């Protein structure tokens, strides 16, 4: 299905939400359904410190700030242009005093204090990068940040009772689970995502915690029968974010 939030490049240089605007003309990856879903589904309750790994436009950091009125948020981005635009998006928001954007390689990150919640829309595609747009490839491919590298970072900076939230292609979940188990993380919540009701799930939202967890499973459908025919549960999840809802 076509992605109405912009998994395909959007002609518009900005995307308006109810409480903030994302400008994205200098970012390799635009606002997309996956990122919005992850930001809306993640649980930010009780968090004093939140980390967004690979912030891109700053979308996840801004959703986290809207959903949690007190947390301090660090957003890390390796791409110069994206980090600059994320900084501008944050500065234009009402939460500029609580979000810091860091232009850096997340693998080199050291935290003075652990994070209660970590959010990441991680690289999906293993293998060699072959696109003409190397910035898009770096953002999408595991050559930029492999699962095991992401999870080693999470293990280093996640609080003992902290939560990691990710969205993955369904066919990569077993790989991610295996790497997560190596650092003592296991899923506490899982949500399978159908883009269209008549098709099988394509993505999986996951929350992981330290130690063995009993996993709560659910499913969400984005569109019932076709473009813009959004399901009631999808509308409810995004009601405080999307202008159209």
Q: Which of 56, 53, 51, 57 has its CA nearest to residue 99? A: 51
Instruction: Read off the pLDDT of each residue in 216-237 and give the average, rounded to a whole number.
Output: 97
Whether 55 shows a pLDDT value over 80: the answer reads: yes
**H or E element, residue 14:** strand 14-16
Instruction: Read off the pLDDT of each residue in 59-74 and give the average, rounded to a whole number.
Output: 99
Q: Give percent of the chain with pLDDT exceeding 90.
A: 82
Whether 157 shows a pLDDT value over 70: the answer reads: yes
CA gap 208, 166 in Å, rounded: 8
What domains are defined for the chain?
31-237 (3.40.50.150)
Which one-letter DSSP state was computed for residue 9? P
CA gap 170, 148 in Å, rounded: 17
pLDDT digits (tens, 9 = 90+) for 170-209: 999 999 999 999 999 999 999 999 999 999 999 999 999 9
pLDDT score for 8: 38
pLDDT digits (tens, 9 = 90+) for 33-53: 999 999 999 999 999 999 999
Whether 136 shows a pLDDT value over 60: the answer reads: no
């Amino acid at each position: 299905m076509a992605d109405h939030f912009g998994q395909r490049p959007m002609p518009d240089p900005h995307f308006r939400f109810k409480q903030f605007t994302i400008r994205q003309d200098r970012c390799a990856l635009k606002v997309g359904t996956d990122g919005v879903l992850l930001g809306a589904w993640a649980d930010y309750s009780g968090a004093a410190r939140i980390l967004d790994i690979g912030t891109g436009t700053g979308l996840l950091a801004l959703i986290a700030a809207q959903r949690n009125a007190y947390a301090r948020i660090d957003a890390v981005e390796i791409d110069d242009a994206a980090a600059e635009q994320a900084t501008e998006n944050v500065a234009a928001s009402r939460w500029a005093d609580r979000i810091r954007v860091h232009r850096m390689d997340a693998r080199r990150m050291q935290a003075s204090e652990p994070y209660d919640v970590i959010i990441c829309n991680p690289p999906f595609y293993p293998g060699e990068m072959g696109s003409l747009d190397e910035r898009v490839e770096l953002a999408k491919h595991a050559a930029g940040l492999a699962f095991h590298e992401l999870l080693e970072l999470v293990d280093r900076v996640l609080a003992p009772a902290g939560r990691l939230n990710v969205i993955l292609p369904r066919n990569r979940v077993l790989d991610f689970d295996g790497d997560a188990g190596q650092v003592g993380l296991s899923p506490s919540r899982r949500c399978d995502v159908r883009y269209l009701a008549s098709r099988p799930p394509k993505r999986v939202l996951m929350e992981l915690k330290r130690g063995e967890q009993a996993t709560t499973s659910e499913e969400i459908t984005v569109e019932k029968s076709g473009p813009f025919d959004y399901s009631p549960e999808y509308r409810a999840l995004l009601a405080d974010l999307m202008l159209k809802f």
